[in-house]
Structure 1
Amino acid sequence: MEDTERRAPEGPRTADGPRPTDGPRQTDSRPMTRRRLLTLGALGVAAAGGTYAVTQAGGIPSLPDVPGLSGLSAPAPRELRIDPAPVDYTELQSRRAVGTAAYVYEVNGRRSAYYVTEAFGKRLDRWIALHRKHIGQVPDELRSYGAWVRGSSTSWHSSGEAIDIARLRADGKDLVSLRHDLWRDAPASELRRRLALYWRTAAGLHHEFADVLTYLFDDAHANHIHVDIGRFGPEQPRLIQRSNAQVQAVQAMCRHVWGRTEVQITGDYDDVTRDATTRILEQAGGPGELAESREAWQAFMVATMQRA
């Protein structure tokens, strides 16, 4: 449910710095402007990402074809070389929930409004639907350190296209805590349980968002997971092998969810990681190798969410 009133944001907001730059990005010769980005989405290319994990049942179905490209599978989305365009919160959509989960500011425990673009809000709703479907949790509260923040063109928070998620709760209790700072020193058995649930939840976020920053990224993310859409805009994400954030996450999922202890968390997409993810995809009935397609990336994330 959305709140369309416009009001000043409540309390301070914690913003991430620039999203990770994992080497030069490939672009064509035309400059990537926000207008051009929105045009790409309007042409229907974003629809190729699909919401198959939410809307279809059984197995891991293939993605739909791109409109206008009959008989061809969806092409791999291109990384975008685009900076955030800071806006005032009055230019954004005011919301008080993600899906059916009320938005609560983690710092003071109060329900409040948050400010994002309409497209980003819809993607958050789609993610929490994935979480409910594949992890089986039905949160009535999402706790966050903030979404929009007045700031520079280096932060996707300033354009209303990022959020920092701390916890999902129901009936006054945590369903999943993304506060690694609070439980990283837990006893071994409790730590294993929390890490498995943390990375199953992160898999859902990686399914929907290209930039997902966890405690592995740096100490500033020990108390939340940051997500934004800067790398692919309206497109669904895929694996970028030189992305430390993505590769580390995949390696952590292999270890903490799938029990593939031969995989080390290095940030390098090495042969051990490639072999482990290929075996996991085969076990789940998914397509090909993880780095080959967006479809394989999404299948891996869905299988990881479902892994109890």
Structure 2
Amino acid sequence: MTDERPGARSGRGPRRRTVLAAGGLGLGAVSAGAYAVSRGTLAMPVLAGVGEPYPPEQRRAPVPVARTALTSRTKVGPARHVYEVDRRPATFYVTGAFGARLDRWIALHRRHVGQAPDELRSYGAWVGSASATSWHRSGEALDIAGLRAGGRDLTSLRYDQWRDAPAPELRRRLALYWRTAAGLHHEFADVLTYLFDDAHVNHIHVDVGRFGAEQPRLIQRSRAQVQAVQAMCRHVWGRTDVELTGEYDDATRDATTRILEQVGGPGELADSREAWQAFLVATMRRG
């Protein structure tokens, strides 16, 4: 008998977005475009299409599918999947391509954040009752609540549980939250955090659609991406002069350019996918 709990709606679970999109897909333990970090600098990546024009954003809508058309999974990489609502291991249902992308993200997290989770907690993936415009309905979205190992939290994405923590603890949790979010932004173009709206205070939502098989890049008009960059500057890099405006303003541009110079990354953040990846990898590694 299959377990449908990850797809269930709950009073403790999140509300669903209506139009959601995300980024690139690839295979292997880490992205082909990921930067290697050595002696404090970022080595140039091996990335197909370097120097080519940006891939166009897609305007496709999610295609609702039956659960039987999806792949059943119990793990993301080596981490077992646990439904956050009842804290029990559970099957979730996604497309094969989306599952592979999740595996790639958690390998990236293990490599650059340095955590080895044996448990991923979520509010679920496929939801049969979701709106036809939701990526959950197509099996191409996941709401991630946290990563654990050995029965303890590694990174909690439950901002609702610790946002009122004492200042030192809050700083530690925010840094881990945004280092984890950096890895998700490396693999998905749309990553929705607690800054997006109140529906995301207990998880980070990721889904697919915007670039298809292409790697994500910074979209300057994306409030979700720009707010995340600004939060990374503040909470990981200590750039408290950067405000969480959601606008790609001069302070954000200057701070990210300085960070890229510091780690040996190329150009400015909005110049290329390579610069975007370099910033995110450096953020993940900044412990």
TM-score, normalised by the number of residues in structure 2:
0.90
Amino acid at match of 2:224: A
Decide which of 55, 64, 73 is 1:95's aligned counterpart.
73
Could you give the per-residue CA deviations for residues 187-235 of structure 1, whole angstroms, max 9, x where no partner exists?
Answer: 0111001000000000000000011000000000000000011221221
- 2:125 pairs with 136, 140, 147, which one? 147
State the partner residue of 1:18: 18
CA gap 1:46/1:171 in 2 versus in 1, 3 angstroms? closer
The answer on 1:9 being equivalent to 2:13 is: no
Counterpart in 2 of 1:38?
A: none
Q: Aligned residue for 1:116?
A: 94
**Partner SS for 2:5:** coil
Return 5+ residue gaps in structure 2 as ranges.
none
Equivalent residues of 1:94, 1:113 under 8 A apart: yes
Aligned residue for 2:267?
Answer: 288
Q: CA deviation at 1:16?
A: 2.0
Cα distance, 1:9 vs structure 2: 1.7
Superposed CA RMSD in Å reads 2.1
Q: Which secondary structure state, in structure 2, belongs to the residue aligned with residue 274 of structure 1?
A: helix
Contact 1:65 1:73 in 2 (8 A): no
Pick the aligned partner of 2:148 from 157, 169, 175: 169
Alpha-carbon shift at residue 63 of structure 1 (Å): 3.8
Aligned CA distance change for structure 1 residues 102 and 8 (closer, same or farther; 3 Å):
closer
* Aligned length in residues: 274
Note if contact 1:102-1:141 (Cα within 8 Å) is conserved in structure 2.
yes
Structure 1 match to 2:180? 201
Structure with larger RCO (C-alpha < 8 A, sep 6+): 2
Question: Which whole-Å CA distance do the structure 2 matches of 1:208 and 1:135 have between them?
Answer: 15
Seen in structure 2, the aligned counterparts of structure 1 residues 180 and 46 have a Cα distance that, compared at 3 Å, is: closer
Structure 1 distance, partners of 2:81, 2:244, is 32
1 CA distance for matches of 2:19 and 2:236? 26
Alpha-carbon distance between aligned partners in 1 of 2:47 and 2:174, rounded to the nearest angstrom = 33
How far does residue 77 in structure 1 lie from its aligned partner after superposition?
2.1
Does residue 53 (structure 1) correspond to residue 34 (structure 2)? The answer is: yes
1:133 equivalent in structure 2? 111
- CA–CA separation in structure 1 for the residues paired with 2:237 and 2:259: 8
Structure 1 ranges of 4+ moved more than 4 A:
none
Structure 1 regions of 5+ residues with no counterpart? 1-5, 22-40, 67-71
Sequence identity percentage? 68
Contact 2:216 2:273 in 1 (8 A): yes
Look up the SS of the partner of 2:270 in the other structure. helix
Distance in 2 separating the partners of 1:140 and 1:8: 20
Instruction: Indicate yes or no: 2:64 matched with 1:86.
Output: yes
Secondary structure, aligned partner of 2:34: helix
Q: 1:230 matched to which residue of 2?
A: 209
- Evaluate the alpha carbon distance shift between residue 133 and residue 50 of structure 1 in structure 2; reply closer, same or farther with a 3 A threshold: closer
Larger radius of gyration: 1
